Amino acid sequence: DQQVKQNSPSLSVQEGRISILNCDYTNSMFDYFLWYKKYPAEGPTFLISISSIKDKNEDGRFTVFLNKSAKHLSLHIVPSQPGDSAVYFCAAVPEGNEKLTFGTGTRLTIIP
Amino acid sequence: DAGITQSPRHKVTETGTPVTLRCHQTENHRYMYWYRQDPGHGLRLIHYSYGVKDTDKGEVSDGYSVSRSKTEDFLLTLESATSSQTSVYFCAISALGVSSYEQYFGPGTRLTVT
């Protein structure tokens, strides 16, 4: 049972445009959500997070939106740059829990 | 960058042989994790540790064991490797503070079981 779903395995976006990566979850106990970025042959790196008490969190070109009623979050990257080409994982965790549940990832390709 | 190293970085082994992967941290974080990454499955938790000698199972723990005798080291052992354990293995650490659930990952170990 996949509790965190990333339904788009891949996404291609023109350089300079907005990239939108989506993530859905089924467990209503999830309270904190994270996005990770992964380059080939490297470990995932933490990108941005959001608590369920917020509906938006912004860090430079990256913004995460959370819609709790729809159990949906999205990562917006604007403007997209070639260095953003990577696999992006969303993850979720209930409050006070030490284990993250990851989605299957979306491969983002930025076209120059 | 968080001080996490994994060894070896690459390993090829034969079915039925034991294999041990090592994760070493210099951050003195309490929590350590082992994941495997496979196409179509994302990152799946194998085992984790919440302190020296304190470990627990993740969602894909069958065929794996772990040990943590020191804060800085977390070992993952495949007692008898199988081809289904061919994967990329990542170690992660976390300080797990208030409203902070970030985990920081090592560079990974690519394991091939022939």
* CA atoms of A57 and B73, how far apart (whole Å): 34
CB contact under 8 A, A93 and B102: no
- Residue A54 with chain B: CB contacts under 8 Å: none
- CB of A81 closer than 8 Å to CB of A15: yes
The domains found in chain A, sorted by start residue, are 4-111 (2.60.40.10)
Mutate to test the interface with B, among A2, A4, A46 (most CBs of B within 10 A): A46
pLDDT (tens, 9 = 90+) of chain A, 112 residues, equals: 789 999 999 999 999 999 999 999 999 999 999 999 999 999 999 999 999 999 999 999 999 999 999 999 999 999 999 999 999 999 999 988 889 999 999 999 999 9
The domains found in chain B, sorted by start residue, are 4-113 (2.60.40.10)
Q: Both tokens of residue A19?
A: 């990239």
- Residue A93 with chain B: CB contacts under 8 Å: 101
> What angle is formed at CA B85 by the lines to CA B79 and CA B87, rounded to 5 degrees?
130
Q: What is the pLDDT of residues B47-68, one digit of tens each?
A: 999 999 999 999 999 999 999 9
Helix, strand and coil content of chain B, in percent to the nearest 5, comes to 5, 60, 40
